[in-house]
Amino acid sequence: MRYTLLLHYPEPGEGEIPAETIREVQEAFGRYGRALQDAGVLVAAEVLAPGAATTTVTLRSGALQVQDGPLAETKEALAGDFVLDVPHLDSALGWAEKCPAAQFGVIEVRPVATSFVDGAWTA
């Protein structure tokens, strides 16, 4: 069963985090990614660019609207995701607990309802 770990944490300002810390966090995420891969549970993982780089697109009002910036400005923003294929929620929670982002942010563990695999949505 697939679960998505949604990483939320406050977006740091430019230069707010020392290079040394950035390097350490990157190494921690490297170890985490390799542990997930070793366990054979990793489907995909991304860390997102800052919210300022976001563009939103909608046709909800009938006309195309392309807007600069994220959907909602929040203190704790969506910052990344890990898609895991694990047997059950307890396993997903165990991996969320080990995620480096859990040390400084909050991780939402959300079951995937259906995935597009091999040309079709899974049942």
Partner 1 sequence: MTHPADPSRAVAEAAARDGYGRLLALLAAQSGDLVSAEDALADAFERALRTWPTDGTPGNPAGWLLTVARNRLRDRWRSAEVRRTEPLDPVAHAPVHLDALETVDPDAVPDTRLELMLVCAHPAIAAPARTPLMLSTVLGFTAEQIARAWSVPTATMATRLVRAKRRVAEAGIPFVLPGREDLRARTAAVLEAVYGAYAVEWSTTGPEPRGAPSEALQLAEVLAALLPDDPEARGLAALVALSSARAPARLDPDGRFVPLDEQDPARWDHHLVERGRAHLRAAHGHRVLGRFQLEAAIQAVHCARTGQGRADPGTLRDLHEALHAVAPSLGSATALAVVTAGTDGPARGLALLDALLEPYGAAARRFQPAWAARAHLLAGLGRDREAAAAYDEAVALTHDASQRAHLTRRRDALTT
- Which residue among 46, 50, 71, 88 contacts partner 1 (CB under 8 A)? 88
**CB-wise, 77 or 99, nearer to partner 1?**
99
Give the interface segment with partner 1, choosing from 51-59, 64-72, 73-81, 82-90 (CB under 8 A).
82-90
Give the interface segment with partner 1, choosing from 42-50, 51-59, 86-94, 115-123 (CB under 8 A).
86-94
Residues 6+ apart with CB under 8 A from 69: 51, 52, 54, 55, 56
Q: Which residues of 17-53 are buried (b: 16+ CB within 10 A; e: fewer)?
A: eeeeeeeebeeebeebeeebeeeebbbebeeeeebee
**Where does this chain bind partner 1 (CB under 8 A)?**
17-18, 20-21, 24-25, 28, 35, 38-39, 86-88, 90-91, 93-95, 97-98, 100, 103-104
